Amino acid sequence: MKADIITIGDEILIGQITDTNSVFIAENLNIIGVTVRQIITVSDDKEVIKNAVDNSLQKADLVILSGGLGPTDDDKTKEALAEYFNSKLIENADVLEDIKRFVKSKNSSLNDRNIKQAEVPDKCKVIRNDNGTAAGMWFEKDKKVVVSMPAVPFEMKEMFENKVLNLIKEYFKTPHIIHKTIQTIGIPESELAEKLSDWEKNLDSKISLAYLPSPERIRLRLSITCDNVETATEKLDKEILELYKIIGKNIFGEGDVYLQDVIGEILLKNKKTLATAESCTGGNISRLITSVAGSSKYFKGSIVAYSNEVKQKILGVSPFTLMKQGAVSKETVEEMALGLLKVINSDYAIAVSGIAGPDGGTDEKPVGTIWIAVSDKYKCISKKYNFGNRRNVNVRLASSRAMDLLRNFIEGNITE
């Protein structure tokens, strides 16, 4: 079956905000086996919205709208849908109750605009909104469905994940699909494809495989359409076991996790602490590690040693090393890691020094040259990388690779 996504909002059409709602909706529809035919953004105009819905219904079985449900006069979606479905707007008691509760939770008081939001078309099924004042709507027509949701990402996501997806699965009797995602890092897509080619050839024909690459990582998504959840899950798990045999060291997690989550789990489990000494990454590793709620349990802190003075004075890197080998060298980055362990007294240290660019490169050490060390009190290992000449990409890749090196160090995957 096919779906169209329509996002409504003048702010998108003037390039003021990026439409991330449609990305979220598309990804989740894809996961339940619904093909997204097109994504379209239109303005907050009643006739335009009606036309867009009508056009989409010609070719799609399901049309999902997001936006235009706010309390102000420029929000036109509800009126447009009421007219399109020859429906009257009537006050809905459930929605009014939700609005009252929400307004109260914000220590605010109910106004006329809020009350007007409780009016919904009489021909729709209401989808209640637990996080805001705009109710969702579900319309059916000739075995096709139109769903309308608010644009606030937080409200939309909750409504879509917890309510709309189930309604879609039920109404369209979508096939039961099980997905498992494997997160890999440190192996380019072409090499990964080559390493996996034999395995792929022998893959159960019912299982489909998707490569989902980003600069930092490649996700492998295995999907199977099934009648029996248990046997299907078994099949997937068997294949995932095979994957671990082939590229085990490059797999840092399963499901929807980031490296910083995995690092956090490992440190928590082992009751160990971490600190970082960062030069070219400028605090980005520290920022990523601390983006995880509860990271203060295992993260002690970071020394961002952007100047050689800080490398010497706080981390104790020898002036001789800095002069002889330079700030971007195996020796410096290892001294940074060991100095960090002394000064911060953590169990593990990550140290990074490199040339992020655009300036500072030489023939011997071009822009993108980055040294990473990881260490505990007994052992220190370091590796040299080159990620190219884009400053922000160098910072991103150095950060993820540094975390991955630590993961492999702790898990004992490194053989020098």
CB of 152 to its own copies, least distance (A): 13
Q: With left for phi above 0 and alpha for psi between -120 and 50, is residue 39 left, alpha or beta?
A: beta
Cβ contact 408:385 at 8 Å: no
Beta bridge partners of 91: 119
Stretch that binds its own copies, among 68-76, 103-111, 376-384, 389-397 (CB under 8 A): 389-397
Q: Give yes or no for a contact between 94 and 128, defined as CB atoms under 8 angstroms apart.
A: yes
Judged by beta carbon, residue 12 or residue 236, the one nearer its own copies is 12
- The three-class DSSP label of residue 400 is helix
Restricting to residues 320-379, which ones interact with its own copies according to CB under 8 A? 343-345, 357-359
- Give just the sign of the alpha carbon dihedral 231, 236, 240, 243: positive
Residues 6+ apart with CB under 8 A from 49: 6, 8, 42, 65, 68, 76, 77, 80, 81
**What value, to the nearest 5°, has the Cα angle with vertex 360 and ends 359 and 366?**
100
Q: Mark the segment that binds its own copies (CB under 8 A) among 22-30, 98-106, 117-125, 127-135.
A: 22-30
Q: Return the closest-CA partner of residue 30 out of 3, 61, 8.
A: 3
Q: Is 127 helix (H, G, I), strand (E, B) or coil?
A: strand
The reply on whether position 157 binds its own copies by CB under 8 A is no
Between 286 and 408, CB nearer to its own copies: 286
Q: By CB under 8 A, is residue 304 in contact with its own copies? A: yes
* Residue with Cβ nearer its own copies (5 or 95): 5
Residues between 194 and 213 with contacts to its own copies, criterion CB under 8 A: 212
Q: Which of 169, 287, 383, 384 binds its own copies (CB under 8 A)?
A: 287
**Smallest separation (angstroms) from its own copies to the CB of 24:** 7
257 binds its own copies (CB under 8 A): no
146 interacts with its own copies by CB under 8 A:
no
Residues 6+ positions from 194 with CB-CB distance below 8 Å: none
Q: Is 18 in the site for its own copies (CB under 8 A)?
A: yes
Least gap, CB of 307 to its own copies (angstroms): 5
For 203, phi and psi rounded to 5 degrees?
-65, 135
Which of 286, 382 has the CB closer to its own copies? 286
Q: Which of 66, 92, 183, 284 binds its own copies (CB under 8 A)?
A: 284
Rounded alpha-carbon distances, angstroms, from residue 12 to 43, 56, 291: 8, 20, 28
Q: Which is nearer to its own copies, 135 or 370 (CB)?
A: 370
Q: Which two tokens stand for residue 214?
A: 């980003």
Stretch that binds its own copies, among 29-37, 65-73, 162-170, 223-231 (CB under 8 A): 29-37
Does 391 sit near its own copies (CB under 8 A)?
yes
Residue with token string 């729709």? 124
> Which one, 318 or 389, has the nearer CB to its own copies?
389
What residues line the site for its own copies (CB under 8 A)?
A: 12-20, 22-30, 35-43, 48, 52, 212, 276, 278, 281-287, 289-291, 293-296, 299-307, 309-310, 313-314, 343-345, 357-359, 391-392, 395
